[in-house]
Structure 1
Amino acid sequence: MLLRIFTEPQMGATYDDLLAVARRTEETGFDAFFRSDHYLTMGGDGLPGPTDAWVTLAGLARETSRIRLGTLMTAGTFRLPGPLAISVAQVDRMSGGRVELGLGSGWYEEEHTAYGIPFPSLGERFDRYEEQLAVVTGLWSTPAGETFDFDGQHYRLTESPALPKPVQEDGIPILVGGKGRKRTPRLAARYASEFNVPFMPADDNARLFAGVREACEQAGRDPASMVYSSALVLCVGKDEAELARRAAAIGREVDELREHGVAGTPAEAVDVLGRYAEAGAERVYLQVLDLSDLDHLDLVAGEVAPQLR
């Protein structure tokens, strides 16, 4: 099982905060640094304010050398698919081919109203999302020297040169995730390299993974060609006092974290991750909410990760 670090900068973080976490992520051997793509905090004052996901990742692409970089999830409502494909392909080049794109339909209405971003109905958002997946992957996969056309209900592209191209020969990995039982698995089977289940019990992960495997089979795709992953909040302490301190720092209760996240002592964390591995998770995104506590990453890297290899 690979462990990845996942941050929520809209809750209050500067670029320098994120850079420090990304560097420690790389130094301690984690597989990747991911961040959310949000423009408004979900609690507290959110100071000093949001940072743009792809501007941040462009900077980190030049200041790291090994870790994968990506989003969970870029909101489809935020960007037109053509410019998004350009931005992500550029960051892929800036990183030497280490970028992954988690793309979702968008869900947080308040951030849209706060910053003047249109927020269509759920049905329209999902229709746009499906077209965005088609456009982004179509642009990247169009052979050099050829053009790309798309005639959708919401997006139309005519004779696009489909540039720039990603560095990665097999294309930039696309992550699709969520709890939907029909349309989401179908889109994952068609467009995604990875399917992610956010913040749900291991049994639910197993059920949702099975749905995506079935969708792959129906689409004529080998289910083993999909990577299956989970996202869970992280709160680990070497003893109960340290655990309680870390829980208090993120405004959560220890018992609740133990029930819903990767929480407790290192041994408890290994047990939790083992249950998700049994459910089929090959990667876990560890949601780190206190970005100032770099010792937290050191503890997990030193006492949890080695037991999962």
Structure 2
Amino acid sequence: MDLRIFIEPQQGASYDDQLRVAQAAERLGYDAFFRSDHFLAMGGDGLPGPTDSWVTLGGIARETSTIRLGTLVTSATFRLPGLLAIQVAQVDAMSGGRVELGLGAGWFEREHAAYGFPFPAKRFGLLTEQLEIVTGLWTTPAGETFSYDGEHYTLVDSPALPKPVQAPLPIVIGGNGPSRTPALAARFAAEYNTSFPEIADIPTRFDTVRAAAEDAGRDPGSLKYSAALVLAVGKDEAEFTRRAAAIGREPAELREHGIAGTVPEALDRLAQLKEWGADRVYLQVLDLADLDHLELVAAEIAPHLG
């Protein structure tokens, strides 16, 4: 099972803060460093202010060498699909082929109002067209052009450049809907992700995507299945309680919803997820100054996952 570090920099993180975590994650052997794509803090002042996902990942791409990089998830409302395809392909080149694109419909209306992004009531069609365009641009053979005439976007004779280093570049699609999201994952994704679900719901969500893949004529085993869950682990109860307090969460609530508690408790939760078919887990790290937390997981948990 892969362990990936996932951060929420809109809550208050500079580029240097994020780079420090990414480089620590690479040094410690984590599979990937992912970040959210938000522009407004969800509680707190968010100082020093938001950072753009793809600008940030481009910088980190040049200051790391092995760890995979991506978003969980980029909002389809933030960028036109042609621009997004160029940005992601460029960062993939800057990283030497280590990028993954998590793409979703967007949900946080207040951040759209705060920064002037349109927030249409119906966004699923927007997301579908973005996926069709981004993948269409990337897979158009060199020397040919790509055109698209949709309800939301029109492209005419695009040279469909640049191409990513990876072919195909992995796309992560997540969500908790019962039908439309699984169908999109079956059609476009290398990975399906469920973010912060009730733990007991995870196997049902995975099974729904497997069924959608079968309905689409795709081998369900060709998809990766993952979950994003908050991380708060201590070598003992006192350290766990201290880490819970540092992120403003109650220990009992963290144990219910996350990879949390003492090391044996975290290992039990991860074993349960693996039994349900999770190929990887995104560990939501909320205290970016606590690199000892990453050290503990890398030393005491990761070696037991196989």
TM bin, normalised by shorter chain, reads over 0.9
**Shift of residue 200 of structure 1?**
1.5
Name the structure 2 match of 1:218: 215
- 2 CA distance for matches of 1:135 and 1:286? 30
Point out where structure 2 has 5 or more consecutive residues left out of the alignment: none
Encode CA deviations 1:122-147: one digit per residue, 9 max, x unaligned. Answer: x2x11101000000011001111111
Contact 1:147–1:161 (CA<8 Å) still a contact in 2?
yes
Name the structure 2 match of 1:73: 73
- 2 CA distance for matches of 1:160 and 1:281? 38
Encode CA deviations 1:9-35: one digit per residue, 9 max, x unaligned. Answer: 000000000000000000000000000
Q: TM-score, normalised by structure 2?
A: 0.99
- 2 CA distance for matches of 1:276 and 1:4? 14
- 2 CA distance for matches of 1:120 and 1:18? 31
Contact 1:34–1:72 (CA<8 Å) still a contact in 2?
yes
SS at 2:249 equivalent: coil
Pair 1:166 & 2:164 matched: yes
Name the structure 2 match of 1:252: 249
- 1 CA distance for matches of 2:254 and 2:260? 6
Moved segments of 4+, more than 3 Å: none
**Shift of residue 281 of structure 1?**
0.6
**Shift of residue 201 of structure 1?**
3.2
SS at 1:92 equivalent: helix
SS at 2:227 equivalent: strand
Q: Calculate the aligned-residue CA RMSD, in Å.
A: 0.7
- 2 CA distance for matches of 1:199 and 1:277? 16
- 1 CA distance for matches of 2:187 and 2:288? 35
Aligned pair count?
Answer: 306
Encode CA deviations 1:49-84: one digit per residue, 9 max, x unaligned. Answer: 111100000000000000000000000000000000
Residue identity opposite 2:102 in structure 1: G
Pair 1:134 & 2:116 matched: no
- 2 CA distance for matches of 1:50 and 1:202? 30
Residue identity opposite 1:28 in structure 2: L
Pair 1:82 & 2:82 matched: yes
- 2 CA distance for matches of 1:92 and 1:29? 20
**Shift of residue 280 of structure 1?**
1.1
Name the structure 2 match of 1:207: 204
**Shift of residue 203 of structure 1?**
3.0
Name the structure 2 match of 1:267: 264
- 1 CA distance for matches of 2:298 and 2:227? 18
SS at 1:196 equivalent: strand
Name the structure 1 match of 2:49: 49
Contact 2:186–2:212 (CA<8 Å) still a contact in 1?
yes
SS at 1:150 equivalent: strand
- 1 CA distance for matches of 2:160 and 2:205? 34
Contact 2:199–2:257 (CA<8 Å) still a contact in 1?
no
SS at 1:17 equivalent: helix
The correspondence for 1:284, drawn from 274, 281, 284, is 281
**Shift of residue 183 of structure 1?**
0.6
**Shift of residue 202 of structure 1?**
3.6
Encode CA deviations 1:159-198: one digit per residue, 9 max, x unaligned. Answer: 1000000001x32100000100111111110011100011
Name the structure 2 match of 1:232: 229
Point out where structure 1 has 5 or more consecutive residues left out of the alignment: none
- Percent identity between matched residues is 68
The correspondence for 2:175, drawn from 157, 168, 178, is 178
